[in-house]
Amino acid sequence: MTEATESTKQPPKRGLQNRHVQLIAIGGTIGTGLFMGAGHSINFAGPSILFVYLIIGLFMFVMMRAIGELLYADPSQHTFITFITRYIGNRAGFFARWSYWLTIVFMGMAELTAVAKYIQYWLPNVPGWLIQILMLIILTSINLVAVALYGETEFWFAMIKIVAILALIMTGIIMALTGFKTPVGDVSFGNVFDHFTLFPNGVGNFINAFQMVMFAFVGMEFIGMTTAETDNPRAVLPKAINQIPWRILFFYLGALFIIMTIYPWQKIPADQSPFVMVFQLAGVKWAAALINFVVLTSAASALNSVLFSASRNFYALAFQSKAKFLQPFRKMSRTKLPVNAVLFTALMVGFSAIISVIPAVTNAFSFVTSASTDLFLMIYVLILIAYLKYRKSDSYMADGFLVIAPKTLVPAAIAFFVFVFITLFFNPESRVPAIGATIWLVVFGLVAMRQPKTLTK
């Protein structure tokens, strides 16, 4: 983006505090995948799933440090996607900014659909489309009032998830230390290592576990956009990025370890929530309702973050395009919020309410949502390439928030994300969405090639 274009941009109000950023980053990454899908991933890899989380956590940390270094060098940016345009070129930027925005919107549609299903657990007679509309109105209103209100809402959404995980960990430790017995066996830390092998269900299942776990981490990059809206981005950014990955790994690894301590990993069913099973074994009769409440707040939190992130990306997108229909989305409200971008994003996400009442469209929507999720891997690769180009540019800040061993770890992270994408084609469940994402790459890539190489005012 040229300097002239940058100068016309009004910065959104910086109303987030460090505590908001810390909890948003944790809450935004720990989603329903852990609470509902942990049994599925353990079923694939057994105790080795801990290594999978560690490896993915390492490479996601590398990517976050790269995003952090870019934002530290230029804290005026409110989305890391602009760096792809700046350092790789407008064509790659065009592909990234539209793909990323649409991907986040599809994620929001999926989360809105999930919210309705979780609420119907208590209100089965209320139509899903009505619940979706009401929830969307509430969260959109929060995003239109003030950045601080969004931050406060996310803070408490995240706190609910964190308390649930800590309760699970503490329950498991107490049960193990007191020799608690359950219908499925003794609670013991030894359950995790009993008959341990690196590939208990074969190398193929171990590799497939990477793609399952990878998508549990999707959304971690939202921290870049939240940090940019704090009062002092350069002070908050290093703390947030250095602390969050390890805290997330603690919550993930701690929860999974305790689940396998209480419930022998060989017996954990793939189609049930281990959290529900564990709390039921501990004598909590209303465990199903408890976890349903947790995943409801988790989905609502993800949807809230989608509205925040997608609107900021669309606001930036409006400044990176000459298209007349995008010009109204440059508007800021009196409270310095990208009001039109928020409203348009909410409108797009709201289409899920229509989709939910048209059965013929539902399957196609599921396919598009799955395919778009795969695009995150492409965006991660592009941002890492942009980072490598930034290091060779005149903008490089040698005394900034630097990536550790960038010449080794950044190319390794790129190779890893490519590896995960390739593995999608070898799993029957992920193959078709992966083909869809590849088609998107080719078709939309050709459209991007028709764009000018550089942006002008």
Q: What is the pLDDT of residues 18-70, one digit of tens each?
A: 677 777 766 666 777 788 778 888 988 999 999 999 999 999 999 999 999 99
- Split at pLDDT 50, 70, 90, the class of 141 is very high
In whole numbers, what is the pLDDT of the chain averaged over residues? 86
- pLDDT confidence of residue 1: 39
Q: Is the pLDDT of residue 9 over 60?
A: no
Instruction: Please give the average per-residue pLDDT across 148-167, as a whole number.
Output: 87
| Percent of residues, the chain, with pLDDT higher than 90 | 41
Q: Is the pLDDT of residue 3 over 60?
A: no
In a domain, 228, yes or no: yes
Which CATH number fits the domain that encloses residue 173?
A: 1.20.1740.10
According to DSSP, residue 333 is labeled -
- pLDDT confidence of residue 325: 85
Q: Is the pLDDT of residue 111 over 70?
A: yes
- pLDDT confidence of residue 304: 87
Instruction: Please give the average per-residue pLDDT across 106-115, as a whole number.
Output: 88
In a domain, 3, yes or no: no
More confident residue, 339 or 358: 339
In a domain, 455, yes or no: no
- pLDDT confidence of residue 234: 87
**Residue found by looking up tokens 């940090």 in the block:** 227
In a domain, 456, yes or no: no
Q: Is the pLDDT of residue 191 over 80?
A: yes
- Split at pLDDT 50, 70, 90, the class of 335 is confident
Q: How far is the C-alpha of 457 from the C-alpha of 448, rounded, in Å?
A: 19
Mention every residue, 6+ apart, whose C-beta is less than 8 A from residue 333.
144, 339
On the 0-12 / 13-18 / 19+ scale of CB atoms within 10 A, 450 is exposed
Instruction: Please give the average per-residue pLDDT across 94-119, as a whole number.
Output: 90
In a domain, 2, yes or no: no
- pLDDT confidence of residue 120: 93
In a domain, 7, yes or no: no
In a domain, 4, yes or no: no
Model confidence pLDDT, tens digit, residues 63-101: 999 999 999 999 888 788 899 999 999 999 999 999 999
Model confidence pLDDT, tens digit, residues 367-396: 777 787 889 999 999 999 999 999 999 999
- Split at pLDDT 50, 70, 90, the class of 405 is very high
Helix H or strand E encompassing 186: strand 185-186
Residue type, 406: P
Number of domains in the chain: 1
224: containing domain = 14-449
Looking at the DSSP assignment, which residues form a beta bridge with residue 182?
A: 185
In a domain, 1, yes or no: no
Alpha carbons within 13 A on the beta-carbon side of 342: 24
- Split at pLDDT 50, 70, 90, the class of 178 is very high
On the 0-12 / 13-18 / 19+ scale of CB atoms within 10 A, 178 is exposed
Buried-exposed string 395-423: b where 16+ CB fall within 10 A, e elsewhere: eeeeebbebeebeebbeebbebbeebbeb
- Split at pLDDT 50, 70, 90, the class of 7 is very low
- pLDDT confidence of residue 2: 40
